[in-house]
Every structure is written in C-alpha cells, then in structure tokens.
Chain A
C-alpha cells in the first residue's frame, strides 16, 4: 500500500494527465456526434437544424463554441497537472 501511494500513483500522474488532455477534446467531439444523430437537444442537434435551414452563421458559432470548450478543457487539465506535478517535473 505504501508503495502504491508513494511511488506508483504519483509517478503515473503525468501519464494520466496526458490521457485526460488528449481525450477531453475527443469526448466533446463524441458528444456532439451523438447529439447530431440521437439526441434532440444540445450543440449537435442545433448544428443539424442549422444545416437544414442553411444557417451558416449558427454553424460557425457552434464550431467556435466547440473549439473554445476543447481549448479551455485542455488548459484546465494543464493547469491541474502543473499544480499537482509542477514541483518535480
């Protein structure tokens, strides 16, 4: 148990955060794809509606929101990683 908490988990943290950062963007993309196909609410559904109505402006706004969300999630995880592992990395 001491080895797990003193060595294994702390040394695994950098890899865990790398995974979180990479997959946060992917998670958003998957949510939007699901909304486009199966769920009638959310950005994905709005995108589909805008497409049907040929509202390019709404589509662009949706894409901007998606980019900002991905970007801010990545930044959030970088901040968290630096906060936790910054002393020794």
Chain B
C-alpha cells in the first residue's frame, strides 16, 4: 500500500498544502465545515483540478486519471446506484474493470460476508437503513482491492450507537486489510477514536499534523485550540497510583482523581463542557469537586464560558445559557465545580510533541 505525499497543492480552496500519509496509516482530516477537507480528498482521488504534485510511493500521479489511481472512495452522500441491487452495486467496480462473472461472484460474496450483509444481497438501496447503506458503500469501495481508501464523513446522519459500532468495525477492518486510509470528519471524538494521526485543516491550510494526543495536549495555535473546544490542560506535579486503575494527580495544588492504568501521568486535559458548575454544594461523594471564584464571564451564542480560579489554576467551564440564567452568577462569586471523571484525558509522555 502506498505512501501518499502532497507537495505544494493549491486550488480554489487549498493553499499550498504539504501533507504525507504513511503506508497503512489511517490519517484523519479534521476541520470545520468549508475548511477544504473534501477538496483535499478529491485532490488525492484526482477528481478536481489542482496545482502542485501528488505522489503515491514517490511516483507522481498528477497525469493519471481518477479511475486508474487505484482508489476506493466513500462519498459523503454515499451515492449508491438506486437501480442496482446490493450485489450489483458491489460488483459494479469489478464489472467495469472487465472481470469475469465467476471472479465477480467470488469477490462480491467475500465482501458481503466481510461486511456482514449477506442477507441484503438482493435488496435495492431504497430498502436499506442508513447503517446498511454505509456497509454496502464501503464494500463497493473495497471491491476492486484499492491501494488507498478515502472516506468522506462516512458516519454522517447515523445514530450514536450505530456510529460507535461502525467506527470500531471500520478501524478493525482497516487494520486487517492494511490499507492506507484518509478519513474526513468534523467530529473530534470520531477523529480521536479513529486516527493514527490527525491533520487539522482550516481555511484550506494544514494547521497541524500529529497524533490525537499531540493535537489535544499541545495545539499549535489558538485556532486549533478553539477548534477542539479550548480544553483545560493541567500539568501534573505529582502522581500517585491508588490501585484498581485509578490515579491521583496533583496539579497546581488540586488533587484530581483520574481513571488510568499505566505509567505516571504528565498532563491531563478536560473540555470546558465537561466541567459542572453549581452555586450550591453538590450532593454525593466529593470526588474531583472543588470550590473557586469566578474571574471572568464570556457569552457565546448558546453557551456561557466561565473562568474560575481554583487555588493556582484557572479552570474554564462552559454551561448552557438557560442554566446560567437560572443560577445568578457574577464575577467574584464563589461556586462549586466538579470535573467529569470519565471525560478526563490523560497524557503520559512529555517529549512526543512535534509539529
């Protein structure tokens, strides 16, 4: 499977993009709507015009038309052929390549089995659910054994449970097939779960490339920090293993309990929306519960961002506007906050930050 290299790629949205996708890697292109993620995918596929060079295994593919680049593409809106049943949809790529009927049948059956959709073979796309359609589209993309797989927001418009399930399956499949994959999404959770590395794209530029941990704990600039939700990052001074997969870390005078089983923790991070704020002391065990003073209040469209000073730390919390209105909060007021235990992200290493 090839290594993909984009060198100084520019077009109507991309601006001088340099990017490498390693062999057998799953690279996630992450960015807001209109950032140029899909366009970059189309550049790799050869579906749009561009300046610059695209290399597959150090061979320039600029002059090679899309159908001959050896690419499997899952489009954002799926585009199943409505007039063909599931079997024929999957067989289409093989038929166009002139394979024999026997070969087509063997390969399609193999894919139907792999994607667990054997029972759907004779159904038409209009009789398929969203999840089933995605499986068929993926099978169709994989049918001609492509060297590169491009996935453009394949989990759009699916319910949370199906998305979670399909993501796990997709990741396993990618590992099993050892296929170089570029995956587009604007969902951070999805990006973190799927990616070997993430490339953050904004306004047609690649802002940062790195592992999910690098992006989250060390965003290259303010824009990226905003894109990933401006997480609170705490540098850990002390780390104590409490056993049973739980650790206690000390950050700026705060003792925070973290579910973690492994080496000692260097940093922890928590998104502002995962910090509960209350004007009265919350009931229950006081795990990760602190008292602080509001130092700043920022109003967004739907949420209110509070900066709360707790000992030596400034913690940002985000609460919905309606809840804020009901609580009568103001600068200088004492509040209680609770950090969502399961949402705390952990970073063990200090030295792996590279841009």
From B83, B95, B98, B126, A10 is in contact (CB under 8 Å) with B83
Measured in the bound complex, the distance between the Cα atoms of B82 and A6 in whole Å is 11
Measured in the bound complex, the distance between the Cα atoms of B89 and A11 in whole Å is 14
Q: Are B96 and A88 in contact (CB under 8 A)?
A: no
Number of A interface residues, CB 8 Å? Answer: 11
Q: Which residues of B contact A (CB under 8 A)?
A: 81-84, 92, 95-96, 98, 124-126
Q: Are B81 and A7 in contact (CB under 8 A)?
A: yes
Q: Are A11 and B124 in contact (CB under 8 A)?
A: no
From A2, A10, A87, A89, B96 is in contact (CB under 8 Å) with A2
Q: Which residues of A7-23 are within 8 A (CB) of B? A: 7, 10-11, 13
Measured in the bound complex, the distance between the Cα atoms of B84 and A51 in whole Å is 54
Give, as a whole number of angstroms, the nearest-CB distance from B263 to chain A. 55
Q: Are B92 and A6 in contact (CB under 8 A)?
A: yes
- 25 A-B pairs in the complex with CB atoms less than 8 angstroms apart: A2-B95, A2-B96, A2-B98, A3-B96, A6-B84, A6-B92, A6-B95, A6-B96, A7-B81, A7-B92, A10-B83, A11-B81, A11-B82, A11-B83, A13-B83, A85-B83, A87-B124, A88-B82, A88-B83, A88-B84, A88-B124, A88-B125, A88-B126, A89-B82, A89-B126
Question: Which residues of chain B come closer than 8 Å to A13, judged between CB atoms?
Answer: 83
Q: A2, A7, A85, A88 — which one has the most chain B CB atoms within 10 A of its CB?
A: A88
Q: Which residues of A34-89 are within 8 A (CB) of B? A: 85, 87-89
Q: A3, A6, A89 — which one has the most chain B CB atoms within 10 A of its CB?
A: A6
Give, as a whole number of angstroms, the nearest-CB distance from B246 to chain A. 56
Question: Which residues of chain A come closer than 8 Å to B81, judged between CB atoms?
Answer: 7, 11
Give, as a whole number of angstroms, the nearest-CB distance from B321 to chain A. 46
Give, as a whole number of angstroms, the nearest-CB distance from A80 to chain B. 16
Q: A7-B92, A85-B83 are in contact. List 9 more A-B contacts (CB 8 A).
A: A2-B95, A3-B96, A6-B84, A6-B96, A7-B81, A11-B82, A88-B82, A88-B124, A88-B125
Question: Which residues of chain A come closer than 8 Å to B124, judged between CB atoms?
Answer: 87-88
Chain B: which residue is nearest A10 at the CB level? B83
Give, as a whole number of angstroms, the nearest-CB distance from B283 to chain A. 58
Measured in the bound complex, the distance between the Cα atoms of B96 and A42 in whole Å is 51
Chain B: which residue is nearest A87 at the CB level? B124
Question: Which residues of chain B come closer than 8 Å to A85, judged between CB atoms?
Answer: 83
Question: Which residues of chain B come closer than 8 Å to A88, judged between CB atoms?
Answer: 82-84, 124-126
Give, as a whole number of angstroms, the nearest-CB distance from B256 to chain A. 57
Closest 3 CB pairs of A and B: A10-B83, A88-B83, A88-B124
Give, as a whole number of angstroms, the nearest-CB distance from B244 to chain A. 56
Measured in the bound complex, the distance between the Cα atoms of B124 and A78 in whole Å is 21
Give, as a whole number of angstroms, the nearest-CB distance from A3 to chain B. 6
Measured in the bound complex, the distance between the Cα atoms of B82 and A54 in whole Å is 55
Give, as a whole number of angstroms, the nearest-CB distance from B132 to chain A. 16
Chain A: which residue is nearest B96 at the CB level? A2
Question: Which residues of chain A come closer than 8 Å to B126, judged between CB atoms?
Answer: 88-89
Measured in the bound complex, the distance between the Cα atoms of B203 and A70 in whole Å is 56
Question: Which residues of chain B come closer than 8 Å to A7, judged between CB atoms?
Answer: 81, 92
Give, as a whole number of angstroms, the nearest-CB distance from A81 to chain B. 13
Chain A: which residue is nearest B92 at the CB level? A6
Measured in the bound complex, the distance between the Cα atoms of B303 and A70 in whole Å is 61
Measured in the bound complex, the distance between the Cα atoms of B128 and A88 in whole Å is 12
Give, as a whole number of angstroms, the nearest-CB distance from B251 to chain A. 59
Chain A: which residue is nearest B82 at the CB level? A88
Measured in the bound complex, the distance between the Cα atoms of B84 and A7 in whole Å is 9
Measured in the bound complex, the distance between the Cα atoms of B271 and A5 in whole Å is 53
Question: Which residues of chain A come closer than 8 Å to B96, judged between CB atoms?
Answer: 2-3, 6
Measured in the bound complex, the distance between the Cα atoms of B93 and A3 in whole Å is 10
Question: Which residues of chain A come closer than 8 Å to B125, judged between CB atoms?
Answer: 88
Q: B82, B124, B125 — which one has the most chain A CB atoms within 10 A of its CB?
A: B82
Measured in the bound complex, the distance between the Cα atoms of B84 and A3 in whole Å is 13
Give, as a whole number of angstroms, the nearest-CB distance from A41 to chain B. 43
Measured in the bound complex, the distance between the Cα atoms of B257 and A78 in whole Å is 69
